Structure 1
Amino acid sequence: MANKAVLLNTVPPYGYVVANGKWKGSALAQSLQGNVKVMFEEHLGVVDFLLSDKSCVLHVSESDMVAGSAYKRKIVRFRNANSGLHGLVVVEKTRLSEQDFPSLQKFVVFELGLTLLPVGSAAEAAQLLVQLALGVSKENPFRRSGVSGLLDPVVLALVQQIPGVGKVKAAGLLRRFSSVHQLCGAPVRELEPIVGHAAAQHVWGFFHNPFD
């Protein structure tokens, strides 16, 4: 446990990725090694990758999603293990796993407060990790401070799932509240001027009533 705690507080240098030892020999790791320096470590626990921007990554594969709900317990352990780091959940959204994706979005973003990034394959996941490790953008689009970059369509899609909230109202809510956590904690009286009374009740209920 002590080794893992030290490792999770260590920031890899620019251009490096610390990968869980279980990824040795995988196609994803091979794709990474052609673009960044990969250091394998056996003591990362549930964390799959550590990045130089103080992010840690959990990869949820297509097979994880279709095999049952065990992956949700894994995500909770991941959230609890990455104190002080920005938790990213990279999930393979494919034709087979597409029907499970909406409930995963709600669980990861709204209930756990993590960033969820869908990819089409392990190869796309590797490309995403390379971009983060190399700091392609000066302003990391995956940070929690506001809704921007690649995170924007994910959060917009989630908020639009609330009954009575379309694209326009979702955008208005996200302009007013700078994070999902702020939106979750907003009382009905603060929501009403943006979306109206009925939709405000739906928004509050969406966050505070148990999901089906």
Structure 2
Amino acid sequence: METKPKTAALLNARPPYGHVIASDKWRNSSLIQSLNGGGVKILFENELGVADFHLPNKSYILYVSECDIIAGNTYKRKLVRYRNDGGSFQQLVLVENTRLCEQYFSAVQKFVVFDLGLTLLPVSGQTEASQLIAQIVHGDGRENPFRRKTSSRLSDPLVLALVQQVPGVGRVKALALLQHFTSIQQLCNAAPTELEPIVGRAVAQQIHNFFHKPSGAGT
């Protein structure tokens, strides 16, 4: 009878400033060791639900490793559960982009950002992930792009950076797209003929192909 209220409370737990609540499965990881070295205090819990970490600025983090990606589509089901369990918290997805899994990264990126509407942050591994988490924790949310739940807006710096990863799109073209499309959904649904006046025929076709190829491709 007491399990449900306890679990519900943990799923919405917000750690104090300078702390991170981490799923117990991360206890002996290099990520946790790096966080401790960065001055972040860790509270371990084995009932966090799908999320791997809770941050003090009302953010969750789910970590998708190269092993998760290479193993197949199981990570997609986990991401869907994560999205559905978010509540009022900002949901971040840290995805390893390594040499072993880089061929799958664009498909993962499309699924996380465009299919689920979550914020994706690529990392090279657990060390970079710990640095990013420490930065968010010590920033306490002030002037922190992760605090705003605007992951679908092209004006969000994170989304702007993501758009630049589309083949053929650099910062200049991404900013030009920003002037014409107010959301990821509009950009995703744009026909090549709508994109061509902004970025040219070849890049317009690349953008269209990026958004419309099957999200499961390569997995």
Coarse TM-score class (shorter-chain normalised): 0.7 to 0.9
1:156 equivalent among 160, 164, 168: 164
Give the superposed CA RMSD: 3.1
Q: Which residue of 1 aligns with 2:24?
A: 21
User: Which residues of 2 match residues 82-101 of structure 1 at below 5 A?
Assistant: 82-101=86-105
Q: CA deviation at 1:186?
A: 7.0
Q: Which residue of 1 aligns with 2:129?
A: 125
Quick check: 1:69 aligned with 2:69?
no
Q: Which amino acid aligns with 1:48?
A: D
Q: CA deviation at 1:72?
A: 1.2
8 Å contact from structure 2 (residues 160, 174) kept in 1: no
8 Å contact from structure 2 (residues 56, 140) kept in 1: no
Q: CA deviation at 1:8?
A: 2.8
Q: Which residue of 1 aligns with 2:155?
A: 147
Q: Which residue of 2 aligns with 1:43?
A: 47
Q: In the superposition, relative to structure 1, how do residues 172 and 31 fare at CA in structure 2: closer, same or farther (>3 Å)?
A: same
Once residues 53 and 111 of structure 2 are traced to their aligned partners in structure 1, the CA distance between those partners, rounded to angstroms, is 21
Q: CA deviation at 1:202?
A: 8.4
Counting aligned pairs with the same residue, the percent is 52
Q: Which amino acid aligns with 1:152?
A: L
1:157-180 residue CA offsets vs partner (Å, 9 max, x unmatched): 2xx34xxx7445443222344442
8 Å contact from structure 1 (residues 156, 171) kept in 2: no
Q: Which residue of 2 aligns with 1:10?
A: 13
8 Å contact from structure 2 (residues 11, 47) kept in 1: no
Give the TM-score normalised by the residue count of structure 1.
Answer: 0.80
The number of residue pairs the alignment matches comes to 207
Q: In the superposition, relative to structure 1, how do residues 43 and 189 fare at CA in structure 2: closer, same or farther (>3 Å)?
A: same
Q: Which residue of 2 aligns with 1:80?
A: 84
Once residues 193 and 59 of structure 1 are traced to their aligned partners in structure 2, the CA distance between those partners, rounded to angstroms, is 38
SS at match of 1:56: strand
Q: In the superposition, relative to structure 1, how do residues 98 and 185 fare at CA in structure 2: closer, same or farther (>3 Å)?
A: closer
Deviates further, 171-180 or 120-129: 171-180
1:36-76 residue CA offsets vs partner (Å, 9 max, x unmatched): 11111111111000111111000111211112221111111
Deviates further, 32-41 or 201-210: 201-210
SS at match of 1:32: helix
Deviates further, 50-59 or 141-150: 141-150
Once residues 151 and 17 of structure 1 are traced to their aligned partners in structure 2, the CA distance between those partners, rounded to angstroms, is 25
Give the TM-score normalised by the residue count of structure 2.
Answer: 0.78
Q: CA deviation at 1:183?
A: 3.8
Gaps of 5+ in 2: none
Q: In the superposition, relative to structure 1, how do residues 37 and 176 fare at CA in structure 2: closer, same or farther (>3 Å)?
A: farther
Q: Which amino acid aligns with 2:29?
A: S
Q: Which residue of 2 aligns with 1:32?
A: 35
1:101-124 residue CA offsets vs partner (Å, 9 max, x unmatched): 010000000000001111111111
